[in-house]
Structure 1
């Protein structure tokens, strides 16, 4: 699961209302407190203050959800997942986009460009002391709302809820790569392996050079005896794209070797009464280990400080009777075991 990454330039607002001075004073105070806390990265203090600004505005007839967005963002940055999920869910369900229009005009005498509310901007158009009247819209944050809410839900281990949000988001933004990636994670965490595999294959059809997705596909395929060979092919593809992909080498070794402890038990059970059958199992085991040998060497090369990689390679050298190379590993093994203590 990818770490939640959030960031936005929160801009302080100038409140201009035809209201009582005490209302404006409360707004200005709450807004300043929210901004100061946010800029100081005191997100747990900033979040409720942004909620307060929103509520004060709403009480006075302005339902400006941008402040709830700021609150949800601050709660997320403060690791208050539950509160952040509540706010982001409300924003998504309300259809909030975050698109805002800014109005500016230039004072001819000073040359200063001023930010104005729409009513004042319209009035100033009649004043010859001002020029360069412009409007500008901020970009929509709606895709990010879906992405962040999905991440929050997945981090909270609410994969089924995350899938519902992902489906809703992809209906609006079908080409959103982050949501498609999260969909695969949600399918996996919810135990829906068939759909997870389907998502991986769909993503690989679009980007066949994604080593991580080939690796993930191999992991899922290796769990099914009927698709073990497919898993081997997927791990090989991951390594072809990323030659130092140690996890792919590791899984490739284990997939090729199979459940060796079970095989050893079978061999030991057959040695006395059915030696011929035991010999067949021994030969087949040696053949699997020989097949896994280059992958084990690749794993050790990619992760020379990994004791598991060295141990696996050592065991394969023993089974394949490669005693010369086995000697070379003993000193390194002692070194790694000493470090592990």
Structure 2
């Protein structure tokens, strides 16, 4: 699963209201904002989230619906692994059309040198106040793609693939070339059991980025599930290894896909040995041939993962079938060594 997209920096703010009766509100805002920032900076995200919500609520009570603080709250909940709370906030933000684009209005207080944030109307009024200077405006960048990407990641992590697909469709309608949403869409198809769309999504990704080893591997996994596409699966795994030579999982899948359902073959051989020995012999020869084809893949797997006992055992069994007794002995010793080390 992809990591959450949590890249936006949180910037401390100071709040000033011009109303005569706003002193108490200002004090509460300063206190809540200070507590939120302190908790966030200390990585106490569970404590930061409700404080950011408090800042939002206090601002809203003064007529400022500044949803950036709800974004900060959702971000903090995500970092605290409070996924349900984070999902709710991000969903509300996406549905509200919030983009994060806002204009900040600041001025410097001459006496303290502190840069202070104002709402637009107050900022215009304060221009006449000789106690302030350096009046500036600044517009922030849109974080709308971040909202969609993070919400989708949260939903997929929570195994809510169908809900994720709804958000992805909505996001792609706005940002049709967003690679992260397209990749997430493929993951969501798999998670929801829609394997045909998952495979189609992988092929679409590979058409755009043929050097994506993980997508080649995932395509191979899906193709290996059907007898008619096993050959395609083998080629996909080989492509993954070509792009990522230490791709142990791709080597492993090459081994087992090449060998096939060996337990069934062995059962068939045992059932035929007595009454139909010739047919049993044909199955034995075909089995040995498959193991011989799997041998270089197993050796490659062992080379990139020499401490993986499953790789050692698989290689040992292939040497048994292909009658390489010296190598069988070597792998048995390695298997015993790894088993002892694991205790």
What interval of TM-score do these two structures reach, taking the shorter chain for normalisation?
over 0.9
Where does the alignment leave 5 or more consecutive residues of structure 2 unmatched?
none
The CA deviation at 1:325 is: 2.6
Task: Provide the aligned C-alpha RMSD in A.
Answer: 2.3
Q: Cα gap change, 1:192/1:142 in structure 2, threshold over 3 Å: closer, same or farther?
A: same
What's the secondary structure of 1:135's corresponding residue?
A: strand
- Verify: 1:254 aligned to 2:262, yes or no: no
The CA deviation at 1:185 is: 1.3
Tell me, in whole angstroms, the C-alpha distance in 2 between the residues paired with 1:256 and 1:64. Answer: 59
Q: Which residue of 2 aligns with 1:142?
A: 144
Q: Cα gap change, 1:129/1:77 in structure 2, threshold over 3 Å: closer, same or farther?
A: closer
Q: Which residue of 2 aligns with 1:293?
A: 295
Using the size of structure 2 for normalisation, the TM-score is 0.91
The CA deviation at 1:138 is: 1.3
CA contact (8 A) 1:102 1:115 kept: no
Q: Could you report, residue by residue, the CA deviation over 1:70-110 in whole angstroms, capped at 9, with x for unpaired residues? A: 11111111111111111000000001011122345689x99
Q: Which residue of 1 aligns with 2:14?
A: 14
Q: Which residue of 1 aligns with 2:188?
A: 186
With a CA cutoff of 8 Å and minimum separation of 6, indicate the structure with the bigger relative contact order: 2
Q: Cα gap change, 1:135/1:59 in structure 2, threshold over 3 Å: closer, same or farther?
A: closer
Q: Which residue of 2 aligns with 1:242?
A: 244
The CA deviation at 1:317 is: 1.0
Q: Cα gap change, 1:313/1:274 in structure 2, threshold over 3 Å: closer, same or farther?
A: same
Query: Relative to structure 2, which stretch is displaced further, 15-24 or 307-316?
Result: 15-24
Q: Which residue of 2 aligns with 1:4?
A: 4
The CA deviation at 1:8 is: 3.0
The CA deviation at 1:23 is: 2.1
Tell me, in whole angstroms, the C-alpha distance in 2 between the residues paired with 1:14 and 1:127. Answer: 18
CA contact (8 A) 1:300 1:313 kept: yes
CA contact (8 A) 1:102 1:137 kept: yes
CA contact (8 A) 2:87 2:155 kept: yes
Choose from 158, 166, 169 the match for 2:168: 166
CA contact (8 A) 1:296 1:309 kept: yes
**Aligned counterparts, 1:16-165, within 5 A:** 16-19=16-19, 20=21, 21-103=23-105, 114=115, 117=118, 118-119=120-121, 122=124, 134-165=136-167
Tell me, in whole angstroms, the C-alpha distance in 1 between the residues paired with 2:335 and 2:48. Answer: 53
CA contact (8 A) 1:153 1:162 kept: yes
CA contact (8 A) 2:298 2:315 kept: yes
Tell me, in whole angstroms, the C-alpha distance in 1 between the residues paired with 2:183 and 2:314. Answer: 33
Give the aligned length.
Answer: 339
Using the size of structure 1 for normalisation, the TM-score is 0.92
